Structure 1
């Protein structure tokens, strides 16, 4: 029997979704559209291309990039290859990025055109980075000079190496804190993240029928692993943007019939205050998620009044546990305002 049939890793869940829903739209970003079958095939080619570059199981690959289809594909390609994702906050300074690169031991750094200067500057500060990968962004662009192109890697025709991956292998290192000391890298296995995906699907009701908008940074565990990963797991349609401004978000929601959206309360408030809000058709929006801080009661009441179809979930957690820990569901938003809710499935508090 092929060992991959029984294996359960983050790379495997995309393959299984592609078998179930091959023709369904999986990824939309800018002008790019991929069905699940196309996304799965591209991820395998990209993983093979990375292997041709010398990236092996266990190697640390850092990503300093804004949201894009390229980021999404690289996430699953690294998981399929067995390499370790190290996502980095693009709002850090070069010295702070360099610290993470050194601490993680990354030799490869993926970036986009807008962040290429920061990536180069950081890599030059006593790091082991010797290889740069250029990722395409939401807007069309040309590969950065001196970097191997995502498109060239994804054109690889070599077979994907047969890597003996296990669910207990390291999937990613996500850096957290740093406000009072140096950032710490949370080492998360495939198992840890996948069990957390189950919690999200059950408790936060991430579902196959969702048309989700992913606008908050994918370098952060909330957007990456509470929403994007579970959405791929169950087979949602996913729109990705790097511009979480009210005007752009409202336009995307109306144009694509977005049904599911996550943002911190500050972004929800910005949407409500936009002059375009009342002119925008948000009739398809049904699931609203927030985290990072408490939603003010008056804002919750305003959302209920102006978006009567939308149910709200407050999700709380921490990077070290992949990250979802507790949830305050729609029925408790006004009954228990200020609460972080109760433990989700697979979590004890």
Structure 2
């Protein structure tokens, strides 16, 4: 039994190529800054890590409860048209991300989508790609939709409504483009139900416990007591479903920790520091291009943190880093979460087939829309 548990925990780390790349990059960067090795724990945003672990556990708990199977069967019965079901799920992901943040929206939508793979012939891999794009497009609308907007909103001095009005043009264009692309990417065919779509009744006790712990955990996070919330969640699963603690994506946690460290090491390089000091001297187009480019290299949240010290937290920067969430998977942490949860190696290449056109389209649209809002 112990050997089986150890293999379940260790094997995913051994096969995670993205984690290996981040680890090797960190080792290479450390050769130039060996004195910073002792600072690695300080480089990590542990509140983000704790929040991510808690959400992973809770979403896995709901999955193990069997509720996604139950609701998935209901959805297939109500909407058995591939195009309409795709539009519904993509729209739901976008809507949820406007007020629940993009990562939380994914923890709700993607496990449900994966369940539909067992119940029907729905092309789940393609749908998850569109859901990842949807949370990026939807979350850019509001100050609380994603981490970079929270930071920009706090620094800008805008009211909640004023920030939404600032972001609305880019959000509307991005969402409209996404819905049109979804319409043409999923045919109006009737879904074929698979033989196992009857399933079993879900475990109500585990489901309700997960929902209750979700409320408690989010409350703890909002109160700055995320660690205590995580301990409560872990205790709950120790009593009700210990397999949850084993089966969550622990390598994803390691990926986020490695990314925090690698980004700080990159920023610590001498030539990078010199470039950062020159950001404030760039013309608007230079700032816009830099925000998008940095998002592609270090992700849009670190790019925002890096630029906001020398560039005003205005629409120019907000449009740049939000458009930069498209393109490479690393452009947004939500992309990484979605693609990792899909558990399909082929999805990484397929994602970029759709994401790069959205990067180009959003970047161009954002630049031409900026005159409509105050820069």
Same fold (TM over 0.5): no
Give TM-score, length-normalised by structure 1: 0.22
Report the structure, 1 or 2, having the larger helix content.
2
Indicate the structure (1 or 2) with the bigger Cα radius of gyration.
Answer: 2
Give TM-score, length-normalised by structure 2: 0.21
Q: Which has the higher contact order (CA 8 A, sep 6+)?
A: 2
Report the structure, 1 or 2, having the larger strand content.
1
